[in-house]
Structure 1
Amino acid sequence: MEYQVESYRGRYVVDLRNRTCACGRWQLSGIHCQHAIACMKMNKEESELYMADCYRVEACKRSYSFPISPLNDSNQWIHEDFLKLQSPKFPEKKRGSRQTKRRKEAWELEKTKKDKQGR
């Protein structure tokens, strides 16, 4: 169940049993990459066998199987006074111009001191 796929970008090892590919796309998204699809086609297998459960039609139907209750208009909602939201406080911007020169390391400062003393 392990395959080596060569493409114009390089070689990739695909493991259909563990649902992994060396490119990392299959593990990241759960959607098989082009390298995995090539292996499935070579085996004459359906790609749906290796699809993650969250992308199946049954999972989509399960997520919408619960009834959605209607809501009143927002001006008919009950307003509670005890919960007051405050906006976040952002730090004040520093005044003056930004530093354009880099800060020198300690060894660079010592070197310039020695150069000045030697002259």
Structure 2
Amino acid sequence: MDRHGDMIKFTDTWISDISPMARLILEDNKEIVRKLKVNWNHEIGFEIQDGDYKHIVDLVKKTCTCRLWQLRGIPCKYVVCALYHIGYESKNYVEHWYRRDTFLRAYKYFIQPSSNMIMWPESNNPPIKPPEVKPMPGKPSRNRKKAKDESRKKKWGKASKME
């Protein structure tokens, strides 16, 4: 119950509408943008050159050839570069699950407190027992059952002096 309340209070410390972790990744990506070269087709396609590598960014499909944007839901450095080139804000392209509203919806329902088990009222019903253990289906074990008179040597180490 304490953690639940702490997580709701945690959103009060957020500087923006997106989570601190997502904001930190965006800020790191913004610093790298200066080193990249952008080619834009004046519509939705971008070609971002990073040294010898070229990455294609499509803002409508929300894809980048490095695939970090699709995997994380946070614009990668190439997407941030493309958005910066046309003057768009990169935090608007962060997926909804990093937003404050989604975070608060996860903690919308509260766990109601209950009394200690010692204070519960007595019941006349029979106690509930766990179910019987059933052997699991599948291949049986490879070890054969040894007879009582067979020696039982250890797998590793020396055999005992008694044998």
Match of 2:113 in 1: 70
Matched, 1:12 2:59: no
Cα distance in 1 between the residues matched to 2:87 and 2:60? 15
Which runs of 5 or more structure 1 residues have no equivalent in the other structure?
96-119
Match of 1:104 in 2: none
Which residues in structure 2 correspond to 1:24-39 (within 5 Å)?
Answer: 24-39=67-82
Match of 2:97 in 1: 54
Tell me how far 1:94 sits from its aligned partner: 7.0
DSSP-derived class of the 1:12 partner: strand
Tell me how far 1:85 sits from its aligned partner: 7.7
Q: TM-score, structure 2 length as denominator? A: 0.46
Counting aligned pairs with the same residue, the percent is 24
Q: TM-score, structure 1 length as denominator? A: 0.60
Note the aligned Cα RMSD (angstroms).
3.2
Cα distance in 1 between the residues matched to 2:52 and 2:132? 52
**How big is each residue's C-alpha offset from its partner over 1:68-95, in whole Å with a ceiling of 9 and x where there is no partner?**
222555787x9x6443485x97x89979
Tell which has more relative contact order, 1 or 2 (C-alpha 8 A, sep 6+): 2
Q: Given residue 38 of structure 1, which amino acid in structure 2 is its aligned partner?
A: C
Which runs of 5 or more structure 2 residues have no equivalent in the other structure?
1-43, 144-163
Q: Given residue 130 of structure 2, which amino acid in structure 1 is its aligned partner?
A: L
Q: Given residue 3 of structure 1, which amino acid in structure 2 is its aligned partner?
A: F
